[in-house]
Structures are given as structure tokens and as C-alpha cells.
């Protein structure tokens, strides 16, 4: 059963501006996320999508960003490019969500990246 849905938008130009500072990107994105973005045609577009995904996760779970922590949720992509979320097993919230399912959709258009996260609770499935 769906326990939560989160949606977030991130302006790509804003992400490009803040990621001119590698210090910001290092605080917000995992090594894997930064490597993936660097391999893409538009690094800023990829980072904006991943940032929106982290925000959407925080909204879907009701944890908020302060309790989630930006690097405790990682956006990964399979061979076909399909994105998904991986939770840090050391995160304070991990035990309560480790058996949950998260569905992620990312989109980019008109200078904006969008992410939707659907949180499916095991207890309610």
C-alpha cells in the first residue's frame, strides 16, 4: 500500500551555480552521484534531478531533509538509465524503512528537473 508520495522541482541553472563550488556538491551528493553526473552530457541537469529526488524522498516519508540527511539517500541508475534510491544503512531512519519500497521517476524540461517518489510500506502491502 502506498504510504507516501513526494514531488520536488529543482532549477537546473541554480544547481549549476551552486555546484561551481565543489564543497557544496561534496556535502550534498555521494561520490557515486557525482561520478554519474560527471559522465552525463549535462552535469547540472543530472545533479538537479538527484537533488529533487532527495527532497521528494524526504517529503514522501515525512522525515524532512533535516532528519533524512542529503547523503543518506543515494540516487543510482541501472544499465538502462532507470533511476532508483538506495538508503545508507548507517542512517538513523534506516531500520524503519529498510523493508519499504521506493519508486522514483525523474524528468528534465524547460530548465527544471522534477522528481516523484512513491513510498510503499511493507507493513501495508
CATH classification of the domain holding 72: 3.90.470.20
- Residue 125 has a CB neighbour count (10 Å cut-off) of 11
For the annotated catalytic residues, the residue numbers are 59, 108
The predicted pLDDT at position 123 comes to 65
DSSP codes joined into one string, 35-95: HHHHTSS-HHHHHHHHHHHHHHHHHHHT-HHHHH-GGGEEEEE-TT--EEEEE-TTSTTHH
Mean of pLDDT over the chain:
94
| pLDDT, tens digit, 9 for 90 and up, residues 5-63 | 999 999 999 999 998 888 999 999 999 999 999 999 999 999 999 999 999 999 999 99
Domain around 34: 2-124
User: To which H or E segment does residue 15 belong?
Assistant: helix 12-18
Question: Total domain count for the chain?
Answer: 1
pLDDT value at 124 more than 70: no
Q: How many CA atoms lie within 13 Å of 65's alpha carbon, on the beta-carbon side? A: 10
The residue-averaged pLDDT of 98-115 equals 96
Amino acid at each position: 500500500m502506498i504510504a507516501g508520495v513526494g514531488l520536488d522541482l529543482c532549477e537546473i541553472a541554480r544547481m549549476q551555480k551552486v555546484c561551481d563550488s565543489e564543497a557544496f556538491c561534496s556535502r550534498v551528493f555521494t561520490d557515486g552521484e557525482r561520478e554519474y553526473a560527471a559522465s552525463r552530457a549535462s552535469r547540472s541537469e543530472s545533479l538537479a534531478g538527484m537533488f529533487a529526488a532527495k527532497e521528494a524522498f524526504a517529503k514522501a516519508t515525512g522525515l524532512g531533509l533535516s532528519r533524512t540527511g542529503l547523503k543518506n539517500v543515494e540516487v543510482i541508475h541501472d544499465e538502462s538509465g532507470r533511476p532508483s534510491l538506495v538508503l545508507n544503512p548507517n542512517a538513523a531512519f534506516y531500520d524503519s524503512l529498510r523493508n519499504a519500497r521506493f519508486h522514483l521517476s525523474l524528468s528534465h524540461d524547460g530548465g527544471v528537473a522534477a522528481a516523484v517518489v512513491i513510498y510503499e510500506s511493507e507493513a501495508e502491502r
